[in-house]
Amino acid sequence: MRSYLKQLVTLVTLILLTNCDPKDDAPEGNDPVIYFPPATTSWETVNTAELAWNEEAIATLSEYLATTNTKAFILLKDGKIAIEEYFQDTSPTDNLPWFSAAKTFTALLTGIAEEEGLLSIREASNNHLDLAWTSLTLEQESSIQIINHLTMTTGLDDRVADPNCTDPDCLKFLTTPNNRWAYHNGPYTKLGDVIASVSGESYNNFTANRVLDKVGMQGTWLKFGFNNIFVSNARSMARFGLLLLNKGTWQDDPILSNDAYFSAMTNSTQSLNPAYGYLTWLNGKSSFKIPGLQTSFNGSITPNAPPDMFAAMGRNGQLINVVPSLGVVMIRMGDNPQNDLVPFTYQDELWKRLIDIF
């Protein structure tokens, strides 16, 4: 009898072990380790063959990049460079413009300023700008909060002759804040003035002291007409993308440690355009709006990309795509593949080819 019981216990144990899901026994914290390149030494690479990536798909992507006016392309996997290509005689040290892809950079800098107690995104932006920075009444102007600049919901009229213009005569009342989403560069650009005002530093110095010097980036803000345009080399853009992949922390250094702010930056913050966070485009949402139109389009901004992707996107196809589920950062810099303020179609065409690689 004892022998039978012993055999029964052994049999039950074997059955339990056989049916045990190995995932259940996996230790916690098994997320891939993210590599952070040092500022002064070489950036580690990873061979695409080691990743078992599709080499034929990589060749197809490279051909597409070459024929669409690309100058620089970098694909990071868990922080290491998997693919890096330059075209049109571009070198790794060449500075290229980010255009509106730098909006996400401004969003991060605004979060840093709030974290330092220099501002609250829920306060009126005219607390830190000259009164009458718009042509609105004082009451109307005072209802515009910093968060409205971040979410493109100021209510200012984007249909003016030059939507880049930051002169008061160009910044006209259309509706109250939070009632209308419109891609409007003028109010966005004023965030740089807010940050300079609250910090007592130039926008460039604030950027360098809080981010560039800490993550090993180079680059600068340049004034072109009314616009502030950030320029850098491709690897600096990739470093910024890696910072976003790690939710605002560079290795063990929290550049932006406010998790709630970073989450709001990279998730839907209003229902007017679910595909927009804080100056950041979001994939995988039910609908989206595009610059210059008030029409809502059903579906994702980039159907061929993973739904958790978020993106910094600029004119002429300047792209930073971050995909947490894949541990991937993709950056593309170059000349015009299509004449859009935000290159939705081109980004999706890239992902049509990218997704076959993994």
| Cα(161)–Cα(87) distance, integer angstroms | 36
Q: pLDDT higher for 22 or 255?
A: 255
Q: Which residues contact 127 (CB under 8 A, 6 or more apart)?
A: 119
- Quick: pLDDT tens for 145-199: 999 999 999 999 999 999 999 999 999 999 999 999 999 999 999 999 999 999 9
Question: What's the rounded mean pLDDT across residues 64-77?
Answer: 98
| Cα(147)–Cα(267) distance, integer angstroms | 14
Q: pLDDT higher for 336 or 171?
A: 171
Q: Which residues pair with 228 in a beta bridge?
A: 223
Q: Is 127 exposed, middle or buried (0-12, 13-18, 19+ CB in 10 A)?
A: middle
Which one, of 131, 176, 129, 126, lies nearest residue 154 by Cα? 176
Per-residue model confidence (pLDDT) at position 152: 99
Q: Where are the alpha helices (DSSP H) in 175-329?
A: 185-199, 203-207, 213-215, 234-245, 259-265
Per-residue model confidence (pLDDT) at position 101: 98
| Cα(357)–Cα(338) distance, integer angstroms | 24
CB 284 within 8 A of CB 309: yes
Question: Does pTM surpass 0.85?
Answer: yes
pLDDT higher than threshold 70 for residue 51:
yes
Question: What's the rounded mean pLDDT across residues 235-259?
Answer: 98
Q: How is the chain split among helix, strand and coil, in percent rounded to 5?
A: 35, 15, 45
Per-residue model confidence (pLDDT) at position 293: 96
Q: pLDDT higher for 26 or 103?
A: 103
pLDDT higher than threshold 80 for residue 92:
yes
Structure tokens at 17: 């072990």
User: Dihedrals φ, ψ of 97, to 5°?
Assistant: -75, 145
pLDDT higher than threshold 80 for residue 31:
no
Any idea which residue has 């170059």 for tokens? Answer: 334
- Split at pLDDT 50, 70, 90, the class of 338 is confident
Question: What's the rounded mean pLDDT across residues 29-34?
Answer: 75
- Split at pLDDT 50, 70, 90, the class of 340 is confident
CB 310 within 8 A of CB 297: no
User: Dihedrals φ, ψ of 29, to 5°?
Assistant: 75, 30
Residue-range domains of the chain with CATH: 55-354 (3.40.710.10)
Which one, of 310, 307, 315, lies nearest residue 330 by Cα? 310
CA distances from 351 to 126, 215, 288, 319, 335 (A): 41, 27, 18, 12, 18
Structure letter (DSSP) for residue 113: H
pLDDT higher than threshold 80 for residue 8:
no
| Cα(173)–Cα(219) distance, integer angstroms | 35
| Cα(82)–Cα(326) distance, integer angstroms | 13
CB 121 within 8 A of CB 109: no
Structure tokens at 236: 């600096």
Question: What's the rounded mean pLDDT across residues 210-215?
Answer: 98
- Split at pLDDT 50, 70, 90, the class of 238 is very high
Q: Which residues contact 276 (CB under 8 A, 6 or more apart)?
A: 151, 152, 181, 268, 269, 270, 282, 288, 289
Q: What is the mean pLDDT of the chain?
A: 92
Task: Look at strands 227-232 and 96-97 and give their pairing.
Answer: antiparallel
The amino acid occupying position 168 is P
Per-residue model confidence (pLDDT) at position 30: 60
Which one, of 274, 270, 260, 341, lies nearest residue 307 by Cα? 274
